[in-house]
Amino acid sequence: MPEFKTAIVTGSTSGIGLAIARSLAEAGHAVMMNGFGDASEIEAHRAAIETETGSPVAYNGADMSKPDDIAVLVAATEARFGQVDIVVNNAGIQTVAPIEDFPVDRYDLIMAINMSAAWHLTRLTMAGMKARKWGRIVNIASAHGLVASPFKSAYVMAKHAVVGLTKTVALEGAEFGVTANAICPGYVLTPLVEAQIPETAKARNITEEEVIRDVLLAAQPTKTFVQPGQIGALTVFLCSPAASQITGTAIPVDGGWTAH
Ligand code: NAD
């Protein structure tokens, strides 16, 4: 076994995934980044994390909606780092619409990226983890893996499914040193969310502070965003020896949202 572990973090070119990639690299793990975006921006993130942490960081642009691409991602990681010890299933998209109007192509894409990709990546990496008697699977679900909101039928369905996958894989890995846990964030301040604040303020004729408190964070009792780095820190903890008995859980990081 190498001293450091090797991790794949899907959807790590932005937001929560990018913070998780950085946190894992800071903890000394080699990281395979993944996700879409401008090639030069992605390379800048990759190089910055590698330089600032001293951990090897690579990138593969697999489309997580495509099982063949997911197999290529695993092969590329094994070719670069030798093995895959940690899988963070983070890539995700959202569409908000009443179910009767929900675009079927968006439903299919949400299920493929937010749900099936986690199943495929686990399917393709589990045997190696079991054989080496060590593995960590961290699924970035959502508070919407535990409770629902209207107009998010596909997302809520996919995230609940991810919690079910987490429990099943935890049972399958339990005697092999492989843990599986879901992190269930509430509202996290990512570039995606930040971009919505000025638009919503304009549309509703309210201040940006009111958008944050009364619209975005209406269900989040702390009335403040979860920070991406907090999800990164929990991921690092779940990959540490201290967390070896934590498996099959769905851990809310939601400012009290699911305590309602
Ligand atoms: P984001 O839009 O900032 O990042 C999403 C990432 O997924 C990007 O890197 C993007 O390129 C990648 N991605 C999208 N489609 C992909 C595909 N087909 N193949 C590969 N990569 C793809 O979003 P975020 O807010 O950082 O969300 C990350 C995860 O956290 C998602 O699973 C999301 O559901 C979950 N989450 C987010 C929040 C929040 O408030 N932001 C709350 C709970 C859960």
Q: Where are the domains of the chain?
A: 6-187+227-254
Q: Is the pLDDT of residue 215 over 90?
A: no
Q: What share of the chain is helix, strand, coil (3-state, %, to 5)?
A: 55, 15, 30
pTM: 0.97
- Does the active-site annotation cover 155? yes
Please work out whether the CB of residue 110 comes within 6 Å of at least one atom of ligand 1.
Answer: no
Residue 3 binned pLDDT confidence (cut-offs 50, 70, 90) = low
**CATH fold group of domain 6-187+227-254:** Rossmann fold (3.40.50)
Is residue 187 within 8 Å of 225, Cβ to Cβ? yes
Is residue 97 within 8 Å of 151, Cβ to Cβ? yes
pLDDT at residue 193 in the model: 81
Instruction: Give Cα separations from 171 to 121, 176, 178 (angstroms).
Output: 17, 10, 9
Closest ligand 1 atom to residue 109 Cα is 18
| C-alpha of residue 110 to centroid of ligand 1, in Å | 11
User: For the segment 41-95, what is each residue's pLDDT rounded down to a tens digit?
Assistant: 999 999 999 999 999 999 999 999 999 999 999 999 999 999 999 999 999 999 8
Is residue 33 within 8 Å of 45, Cβ to Cβ? yes
% of residues, the chain, pLDDT over 90: 87
| C-alpha of residue 137 to centroid of ligand 1, in Å | 17
Q: Which residues pair with 9 in a beta bridge?
A: 33, 88
